[in-house]
Amino acid sequence: MAVGAASPDLYDAIPGYVKKYGFEAEPDRPAKDAHIYQVSGMDCSSCAATLEKHMSGNPDVQSVRVNFSTGKMHIAHTLTADQVVKEVQKSGFDAVPATLRNQKKDDQKAGKALPVTTISGLLLALGFIGSFTAIPEWLVTAFYAAAIAIGGYKPTRSAFYAVKSRSLDMNVLMVTAAIGAALIGEWFEGATVVWLFALGNALQNRSIERTRDSIRSLINLTPSEAVIKTAEGTIVKEVEDVAIHDIMVVKPGEKIPLDGEIIAGRSSLNQAPITGESLPVDKEPGDKVYAGTVNESGSLEVKVTRLSEDTTIARIIHLVEEAQEKKAPTQAFIDRFAAVYTPIVFILALLVMVVPPVAGFGAWGEWFYRGLALLVVACPCALVISTPVAIVSAIGNAARNGVLIKGGTFLEKAGAIKAIAFDKTGTLTEGKPKVTQVISLEEDSETVVSIAKTIEEHSTHPIAQAVISYANERNISSKAGSGFSAIAGKGATAMIGGTEYFAGKPKLFKEMGVSTAHLDEQIDVMQNEGNTLVAVGTREQILGLIAVADTVRDITVRSIEKLKQAGIGEMVMLTGDNEGTAKKMAAETGVDRYFAELMPEDKVTAVKKLQDEGKQVAMVGDGINDAPALATADLGIAMGGAGTDTAMETADIVLMADNLEKLPHTIRLSQKALTIIKQNIWFSLITKLAALMLIFPGYLTLWMAVLSDTGAALIVILNSMRLLRMK
């Protein structure tokens, strides 16, 4: 089998696919494992950079990117998986290929750093206590030296690789400081630096592991086995071995193993794991169900429509992981800052060690010590992780609530949004309008409905659906028609028996020169009651009117209310519907403003108008018809992501549920993320500044410098993690 231009990932996936369709296939070159690895043991933000540099030094590695906050390494290489793992181990970390299955198994390596820290701490304590007793001086020093050796082994190894690849990371700085302290006989200081650094890192690592787990918990949502119906009865299969069109049997109380379509049975499903919806959803044959959701009441037979790696939840996880690795603008700025800050302070430290004593201001030892303290302060660790951990936590929280935020940029934007524009049909309203009244004018109502049905049968507009259902319920059949076409934003037309007929908004007829004066009052009254009117007629006259009404969802009213509480100053409804209906609906939903009678392209203009008023504007729509307006807005939010893949791929933020329930939470979460990021940045800058100021009068000891460094980093992480827990 030869595959030309297929990507390496696709190449490796082929045998699996072929097998699922019942055949065997083997690649004609050695199989290569996933190109994403989960790395553990990275306990400082600079570790990611160190590993990245180390790996890129290998001639068989084409490109590599390591993300500290997610623990993922993306690598393009021509090595075997084992070689990659070995190479990673050389710089002091562990790696496994990041397949879903591997991630499911919780590796508990995070705790490994603690014994080392404990032993190093004990030795430090022994030395410290010993220094007050009669035990010989050399023994005290030996305790300290041992504490340095044990606690410092790993940072030294990392520092070695960092220096080799010409980077100045915190390992290099800390190790230099510890060695320097020992050189000038400050063994206690050296041991304290090493121990505090190790402790800080171990604690940071534990916390970071917890944020990484927020995604693993999503992965663990799906069962690993499915019960499959066969001619001989049911068998249990691993989900990876289930093929498309297999029939799964799902009993009440069980989770759906794979995406599919119900072919028998009815039940209500708790979709919260995917969509965040608090209420279960009733489903019947023909409806889609998603892997990871819970079958609450009835037994179901489900035809599998997606393989285990393509399910909605698998795609969500994939998109979330991608999103978490995208840098927010703030972060990009901080990284640039850190890139100049560290070398500058490093050079400054060297100068401090040398210049003042040479110039005759004080003793060598004293300035050397200050220089060492400055070295420790040269690492902007807390600042560097001030943003990414907050972003990973917030995106993880959103994902568990059925909301996909496609990156830190959009999280930051959502936190600053001041106005939201909503599409009316299907977003604020149910999107399933019903016929409320038929008014016959020149023809009897049955004929009016019959003509309307003939035209609307070829339309995809929700209104068309309402007319068709109404006709079907009354057994009114359509006529023989031809030449169907939609008139965007206005209606539709068809030829019936040689005459051109139209169904659409009354304005459509006015524009064709049909006199509607005698109907205007009646039309106004009905529209002001919230009806959308479908006039049915020819180029000469209107034959009848069909009134259609859509209901506002309860959840819309509640969500708009909560958005107001979250400080969104302006909420605007955009609709192609008439003024009267728009006004009524606006009042019912509680939005502040509405733009009615919009042609599809006018929605873009309306969004621009809001932007011109000086606001950051978000647009919420269904992601298909509203794509241009979504793209124009500062932030495009699509609804119903679980049902449509395009919405999931294209919008900036995707609400998996087909309603607005989780939008207020998303906005509040984003606002809080912005606040926390700001707090983190200020806090880390101020602690750094304070440390710098204390060095020169000589108040800052080495251990204080380390504490201000790793301690601040830890506080920043813990502060960010509040976003994980936010309800």
Which positions are catalytic? 423
Region binding Mg ion by CB under 5 A among candidate stretches 23-31, 35-43, 399-407, 417-425: 417-425
Q: Which residues of 565-579 are buried (b: 16+ CB within 10 A; e: fewer)?
A: ebebebbbbbbbbbe
Position 464 contacts ligand ADP (CB under 6 A): yes
Which tokens hold the place of 463? 């209104």
Instruction: With contacts defined by CB under 6 A, name the span among 500-508, 517-525, 631-639, 680-688 that binds ligand ADP.
Output: 500-508
Residue count, binding to ligand ADP (CB under 6 A): 20
Choose the binding region for ligand ADP from 160-168, 503-511, 643-651, 683-691 (rule: CB under 6 A). Answer: 503-511
Task: Give yes or no for residue 478 binding ligand ADP (CB under 6 A).
Answer: no
Part of the chain binding ligand ADP (CB under 6 A), chosen from 23-31, 453-461, 553-561, 614-622: 453-461
Nearest distance in Å: CB 571, ligand ADP: 16
Residue 504 interacting partner from Mg ion, ligand ADP, none (CB closer than 5 to 8 Å by kind): ligand ADP
**Which tokens hold the place of 1?**
């089998």
Count of residues touching Mg ion (by CB under 5 A): 2
Q: Quick one: which of 123, 147, 202, 534 contacts ligand ADP (CB under 6 A)?
A: 534
Cβ at position 623, least distance to Mg ion in Å? 11
The side-by-side arrangement of strands in the sheet containing 434-440 is: 434-440, 542-549, 532-537, 499-504, 491-496, 481-487
The four Cα atoms 117, 118, 124, 129 give a dihedral, to 10 degrees, of 160
SS3 per residue for 329-352: HHHHHHHHHHHHHHHHHHHHHHHH
Single out the residue of 406, 413, 424, 668 in contact with ligand ADP (rule: CB under 6 A). Answer: 424
Residue 505 binds ligand ADP, judged by CB under 6 A: yes
Residues 6+ apart with CB under 8 A from 281: 268, 269, 271
Q: Is 315 in the site for ligand ADP (CB under 6 A)?
A: no
Q: Is 504 in the site for ligand ADP (CB under 6 A)?
A: yes
Binding residue for ligand ADP, selected from 156, 532, 556, 666, defined by CB under 6 A: 532
* 509, two tokens: 């007829």
Instruction: Output 530 or 576, the one with its CB closest to ligand ADP.
Output: 576
Among 40, 425, 559, 666, binds Mg ion (CB under 5 A): 425
Question: What is d(CA 431, CA 452) in angstroms, rounded to the nearest whole number?
Answer: 19
Residue 318 gets which letter from DSSP? H
Measured from each CB, the residue nearest to ligand ADP is 576
Least spacing, CB of residue 526 vs ligand ADP, in Å: 12
Q: Does 575 bind Mg ion (CB under 5 A)?
A: no
Question: Measuring CA to CA, how many Å separate 540 from each of 90, 442, 483, 487?
Answer: 84, 11, 19, 18
Give the alpha-carbon dihedral of 469, 470, 476, 479, to 10 degrees: -70
Q: Which stretch binds Mg ion (CB under 5 A): 590-598, 624-632, 663-671, 694-702?
A: 624-632
- Tokens 């901080």 label which residue? 334
With binding defined as CB under 6 A, does residue 459 bind ligand ADP?
yes
35 binds ligand ADP per the rule CB under 6 A: no
Question: How far apart, in whole angstroms, are the C-alpha atoms of residue 233 and residue 665?
Answer: 46
Asked whether position 542 contacts ligand ADP by CB under 6 A, the answer is: no
Minimum distance of Mg ion from residue 95's CB (angstroms):
48
- For the CB of residue 560, give the shortest distance to ligand ADP in the complex, in Å: 17
- Residue 546: in which H helix or E strand, if any? strand 542-549
- Determine, following the binding rule CB under 6 A, whether residue 492 of this chain makes contact with ligand ADP: yes
Helices 187-219, 113-130: axis angle to 10 degrees equals 160
The answer to whether the CB of 163 falls within 8 A of the CB of 169 is: no
290 by DSSP, 3-state: which?
A: coil
Task: Name which of 66 and 585 has its Cβ closer to ligand ADP.
Answer: 585
Cβ neighbors of 263 (< 8 A, separation 6 or more) are 247, 285, 301, 302, 303
Strand partners, 636: 619
Contact between 708 and Mg ion per CB under 5 A: no
Of these partners, ligand ADP, Mg ion, none, which one is at the site of residue 464 (CB under 5 to 8 Å by kind)?
ligand ADP
The Cβ-side half-sphere exposure at 720, using a 13 Å CA radius, reads 34
Site for ligand ADP contains 152 (CB under 6 A): no
Beta bridge partner(s), residue 722: none
Which entry of Mg ion, ligand ADP, none binds 395, CB below 5 to 8 A by partner kind? none
Select the residue interacting with ligand ADP from 425, 445, 659, 666 (CB under 6 A): 425
CA distance 405 to 722: 18
State the nearest-atom distance from the C-beta of 627 to Mg ion, in Å.
11
Q: Tell me: does residue 38 bind Mg ion (CB under 5 A).
A: no
Residue 413 near ligand ADP by CB under 6 A? no
Strands of 281-283's sheet in order across: 281-283, 267-270, 294-295
The entry of Mg ion, ligand ADP, none near residue 634 (CB within 5 to 8 angstroms by kind) is none
> Is residue 107 a contact partner of residue 54, using CB atoms and an 8 Å limit?
no
Per CB under 6 A, 622 contacts ligand ADP: no
Residues within the interface to ligand ADP (CB under 6 A): 424-425, 456, 459, 461, 463-464, 489-492, 503-505, 532, 534, 575-577, 600
Kindly list the residues in this chain that would bind Mg ion in the complex (CB under 5 A): 425, 625
